[in-house]
Amino acid sequence: MSGPPRTAALFHGILLVLVAGGLAGCNVAVDDAAAAANPPSQSLSPALIAQGKRIFRFDTFGDEQQWTDRLRMHEVVETVPPLTALAVGLKVDAEALPPGLLANADLDDPATTVALLKLDAVVGLKATVDADNRVKRLGITCALCHSTVDDSLAPGVGRRVDGWPNRDLDPGAIIALSPAVPAAAKAVYTSWGPGKYDPRFNIDGLNTPLVLPPAYGLRHIRNETYTGDGRVSYWNAYVAVTQMGGHGNFADPRLGIAIRQSPDLVTPKLPALRAYQLSLAAPRPPAGSYDAIAARRGRPVFARNCMGCHVGATGTDNNGGKLHLPAETGMDGAYAARTVNKAYRTTPLRGLWQHPPYFHDGSAATLADVVAHYDATLRLRLTPAQRRDLVEYLKTL
């Protein structure tokens, strides 16, 4: 599927300074800023992690310039009842609510949404609300896409779980509510559906949305993203500046992007933000969520058929930089073609039970679908029993 022409995409997009095409093909090391491998544990001090947690949850990096000034989402949220907000996957942080608030609240009344915003209780949204309860500024944070809640109080209302992708969130539907988005782009945004986002649509005008990935279990992973674009801070800066619309710097000559905005509200925060992400462990599978005996039988099936790529404790062969052409694993190559490396990183396998669907495009709804895909593509000739055992093993990772 292709989107509207580049000009239309850029029209509503963030401040992009596209460097002339000639530079796009050259091979430049991008992750200078984050060149060192993930830092040794002493640089992940509790204080740095705590600072990173605040940034991850509450820092907009000045992206109000996009969500307020350009997209006018502050006007939109004032008209949205909490029930509608929950329906597009927004989550409410129960710990930010005074006792009893929810029981007495009218969830059909947009004023309740404003009250929740005032309490910093809508995960991933940061609002400035004036004395007359008008929303003056609105921005988004990393937590919007990479946190959810545990539903402990009600569906969509509970304690925050950072790093868990919010697969209920429909970012495209939310952006499409903006009065500033032209119709052609709106059609693209509304085509994505829950749990998906295309982090390059506003750059190249193409449309192959990605499943929102977990931001946990990254401690020993060298390169982030489905296509192994760079280190965690490279990608954090990319997203903060080019997607969230943060006020800061990001440059990658390979992509022809050079954005400088002073003051830079992004770069100084990257070390703390990285420390917090690296501190987020993958969640263990809940007790009783898999058949332990079958999983034990599945382990050697995994070792024989999968460990060529999903190697070692991290489950990826990318720590030495290796990537795979789409055809090697039977993947749709359209997204990879839009990236620098044109190939996919072997996804580290962690918390698999927590985040269906699988693969960059969500093409496998379940772990059984993952196994069926590989059985067909790699001609593994697994017996039905081996497939079942392998699925149980994957649930343990």
- Nearest approach in angstroms of CB 31 to ligand HEC is 13
State which residue, 68 or 277, has the beta carbon closest to ligand HEC.
277
Applying CB under 6 A, which of residues 80, 240, 259, 340 lies at the interface with ligand HEC? 240
70, two tokens: 């350009």
Does residue 203 touch ligand HEC according to CB under 6 A? no
Q: How far apart are CA 184 and CA 93, in angstroms?
A: 34
- Nearest approach in angstroms of CB 52 to ligand HEC is 9
The Cα angle at residue 245 between residues 241 and 246, in degrees rounded to 5: 60
Q: How far apart are CA 326 and CA 338, in angstroms?
A: 12
CA distances from 66 to 175, 247, 389 (A): 11, 9, 48
Which residue has tokens 């962690």? 350
Buried b (16+ CB within 10 A) or exposed e, 168-192: bbbbbbbbbbbeebeeebbebbebb
Does residue 227 touch ligand HEC according to CB under 6 A? yes
Applying CB under 6 A, which of residues 51, 236, 242, 279 lies at the interface with ligand HEC? 236
Does residue 14 touch ligand HEC according to CB under 6 A? no
> What is the number of alpha carbons within 13 Å of residue 167 lying toward its C-beta?
14
The distance from CA 190 to its chain's CA centroid, rounded to whole angstroms, is: 18
- Nearest approach in angstroms of CB 283 to ligand HEC is 13
State which residue, 246 or 256, has the beta carbon closest to ligand HEC.
246
- Nearest approach in angstroms of CB 98 to ligand HEC is 27
Q: How far apart are CA 14 and CA 241, in angstroms?
A: 9
Q: How far apart are CA 226 and CA 276, in angstroms?
A: 20
Does residue 207 touch ligand HEC according to CB under 6 A? no
Candidates 37-45, 76-84, 290-298, 367-375 — which segment interacts with ligand HEC by CB under 6 A? Answer: 367-375
Q: What residues numbered 317-346 form the site for ligand HEC, per CB under 6 A?
A: 324, 328-329, 331, 344, 346
292, two tokens: 């332990």
State which residue, 80 or 215, has the beta carbon closest to ligand HEC.
215
Does residue 202 touch ligand HEC according to CB under 6 A? no
Does residue 167 touch ligand HEC according to CB under 6 A? no
Q: How far apart are CA 393 and CA 391, in angstroms?
A: 5
Residues that bind ligand HEC (CB under 6 A): 140, 142, 144-146, 171, 197, 199, 210, 212-213, 215, 218, 224-227, 232, 235-236, 239-240, 244, 273, 277, 305-306, 308-310, 324, 328-329, 331, 344, 346-347, 349, 352, 358-360, 370-371, 374, 390, 394
